[in-house]
Amino acid sequence: MKHASRWSLLAASLALVACSNIAAKDGEGPQTASSVKADAKPADKPAAINKDPFPSTYKSYPGGATAIRNVTIFDGEGGRIDNGVVFFENGKISGMGGADTAIPAGMTIIDGAGKYVTPGIIDIHSHLGNYPSPGIEAHSDGNEATSPTTPEVWAEHSVWPQDPGFSRALANGGITSLQILPGSANLMGGRSVTLKNVYARTVQGMKFPGAPYGFKMACGENPKRVYGGRGRAPSTRMGNVALNRQTWAKAQEYRKKRDSGKEYSRDIGMDTLAGVLDGDILVHNHCYRADEMALVIDMAKEFGYKVSTFHHAVESYKIGDLLKENGVCSAVWADWWGFKMEAYDAIPENAGILQNAGACVVIHSDDENQIQRLNQEAAKALSDGRRLGFDISDAAAIQWITYNPAKAMGIDKMTGSLKAGKMADIVLWNGNPLSVYARPDKVWIDGALLFDAADAKRRPVSDFELGQPGEGDVK
């Protein structure tokens, strides 16, 4: 009977998720016809291509009307309110302000004296579920390293919802949303998926409703090492660019045929690339060196797409003005460097220099452990920037892990900052989140309290961890 309360929680969670997994309507499954004839008569015209054959079935968990008062608030967009109040109901933020802000009647009031509130933390670069724990070969599902271009694969088709990394990221790092990307073995690695960090039996039950798809690309050493090591192209950086350009040229032709009204043979990978050219799918490009980032920006202009974000981007500090001019974010580490040649010119002041240049900065993890302390990574990058002489506020650093990643992922209208009408994705911290001692005290997702450090029943435990010694402990 030791785990009876956990099983009760699991049963309740499964029942709720089961209700959310609504079957798709007839005709909404994947298109299986080998060709689509746009000008066919209605009677013999194949079903239209479904742009979302794996729709989100996410339904928020129930939550009550809540107000947190007497708390320091970082709003996610660079603002700070001391001795403030924030309140939410029906899954949405309904108000925020200073100490004199009236709290609506009927709300559960939490006194946040000495504590801090931020929007839910967002990780723009994660492989949870695709490289879950335990990290064994049987779980290695993030890289379809069989061709240098695999735009046809979708990261969500490898996500294992029982990965204990999800619940650890929630409890230890206040992570409420995250983007799961394919790996970087390929020039074109496939589609990414954005998830709400909730417990669900299926990836559809975690999919962030309304979030655009991303598309993972990679520059530099990884693709040329993987495929050059097999004696095939690309084996050089010029080979990387050439193969990218050739593939984009084919995508332009495919899109032209698709839009012409004439019969064309459907290609799942080309559907993704055409979606990028349409502006519906956002490009997230793994790239370390400044010269390569500049080349990618030129290539994007040549073929008519836009790069949302360069990931890792350890040399972004060299081209902050160029990145600002082109509206490209840099998702960076605080201080990772030197683990391969293209990472040798990294500096810990990277984020600070970019911030000072007015460019978009995001702090990311790319790691199942670092996702649990993105707040501390932001603090390290902030400290390095200040040491260089830049006047960067605590509130600006919080923006690096809240609003900026939301903007780069195309979900900033829904989450990423504390504004009335946005999702109530909120973290109450036991102290300043930029302190090494800070931990999440409570975490709400869409207004539902999914983690409470003071309540063992609100400490998430994955199916994989149920019944193990120390289960439920927060370490």
Tell me, what DSSP letter sits at residue 154? B
pLDDT, the chain, mean: 90
pLDDT level of residue 186 (50, 70, 90 thresholds): very high
Average pLDDT over residues 33-61: 66
Q: How does residue 8 score in pLDDT terms, banded at 50, 70 and 90?
A: very low
Query: How large is the average pLDDT for residues 103-123?
Result: 98
pLDDT category of residue 473 using cuts at 50, 70 and 90: low
Of all residues in the chain, what percent carry a pLDDT higher than 70?
A: 88
CB 192 within 8 A of CB 202: no
Determine the topology of domain 120-414 in CATH: TIM Barrel (3.20.20)
Q: How many helices (H) and strands (E) does the chain have?
A: 11, 18
Q: Give the pLDDT confidence of 367-409 residue by residue, as tens digits.
A: 999 999 999 999 999 999 999 999 999 999 999 999 999 999 9
Determine the Cα–Cα distance for residues 149 and 286; give it in Å rounded to an integer.
14
Choice among 38-47, 99-108, 165-174, 456-465 with the minimum mean pLDDT = 38-47
Spatial distance between the Cα atoms of 444 and 423, rounded to a whole number of angstroms: 10
What pLDDT, on a 0 to 100 scale, did the predictor assign at position 459?
74
Query: How much is the pLDDT for 466?
Result: 77
How far apart (Å, rounded) are the C-alpha atoms in residues 351 and 403? Answer: 15
Q: Which of 468, 471, 456, 450 is nearest to 169 (CA)?
A: 450
Query: Tell me: the pLDDT tens digits for 297-306?
Result: 999 999 999 9
pLDDT > 90 fraction of the chain, expressed in percent and rounded:
84
**Backbone phi, psi, residue 300, to 5°:** -60, -40
By the 8 A CB rule, do 160 and 212 touch?
Answer: no
Residue 10 predicted with pLDDT over 60? no
DSSP state of 365: -
Tally Cβ neighbours within 10 Å of residue 151: 28
Average pLDDT over residues 142-170: 97
Q: What b/e sequence results for 450-467 when a residue is b if at least 16 CB atoms lie within 10 Å of its CB, and e otherwise? A: bbbbeeeeebbbbebbee
What is the residue extent of each domain of the chain?
Answer: 120-414
Q: What is the pLDDT of residue 112?
A: 97
Note whether 283 and 215 are within 8 A (CB): yes
